[in-house]
Amino acid sequence: MQINTLVVVPARGGSKGLPDKNIKLLGGKPLLAWTAHAIAQAGLTGCLSILSTDSQKYVEVAAQIGLEAPFIRPDDCATDTASALQVVEHALLWFQQAYGYLPDQLMWLQPTSPFRSPAIIHQAWTMLESGTADAVVACKEIHRDLSTLFRCDAGFLSPLNKATPVQTTRQQVQPLLTPNGAMYCCKTMHLLEHKSFYPERTVPLIMNTIQSLDIDTEEDWAIAEAFIKQGLV
């Protein structure tokens, strides 16, 4: 069967904020399993899902949750400063060497977004398959006017927009969009040509607050556990 979509789940060992968070149990199963199970239930065809990791321990966990781990990531792709693009290019090089061709498209699904649903994954894949976009990026909404967004320069608030701050209600503001880190999907040709997940024809896929949760800190983990305890996922 021709593989048209390569799904890469990146999970580097040695997290400083939450040690081994990618295999830490959340709701009774490793964090990695939330993403692996969502992919399995998404109903994708012509798809290969792989774990890209530098940890043999993660490879063993991947085998238990039904996620292939065909290689150990090289040292230059396993540092704190290694970019997502480096990891993607390494995975695509492995794929080309293993199969003799490149997949049409690539999906990048970080395990730190455990509540990304199978339906959302399928929707992004369908949008790419339809040819209406060259990339799909998961986003969340920010209900703020630019005049009420600030940097902190020399200890003082510095507005992104110098206009007088506009205090408006949520309903009066056209939402801004920001990537939530949960999902980046791109046509392989454009990804390699532009060295970016954001070619010209990139469309957003809006996810709600729960789906957009990105676990990076102890506080994020506590929020995730609360969502599960309340039956919200």
* Residue 37: CATH number of its domain: 3.90.550.10
Residue 163 placed within a domain? no
Distance CA(122)–CA(105), nearest Å, equals 14
Residue 165 pLDDT more than 80?
Answer: no
Per the rule left: phi > 0, alpha: psi between -120 and 50, beta: everything else, 80 is alpha
Q: How far is CA 57 from the centre of its chain?
A: 22
pLDDT score of 167: 63
pLDDT range class, residue 81, cuts 50, 70, 90: confident
- Mean pLDDT score, 44-48: 96
pTM higher than 0.75 for the full model? yes
What is the domain count for the chain?
Answer: 1
- CB-hemisphere CA count at 13 Å for 118? 11
182-216 pLDDT, tens digit each: 999 999 999 999 999 999 999 999 999 999 999 99
Residue 99 placed within a domain? yes
Residue 111 pLDDT more than 80?
Answer: yes
Residue 101 placed within a domain? yes
218-231 pLDDT, tens digit each: 999 999 999 999 99
pLDDT range class, residue 85, cuts 50, 70, 90: very high
pLDDT greater at residue 10 or residue 18: 10
pLDDT score of 76: 87
Residue 21 placed within a domain? yes
**Which domain does 116 fall in, by range?**
5-139+177-229
Residue 168 placed within a domain? no
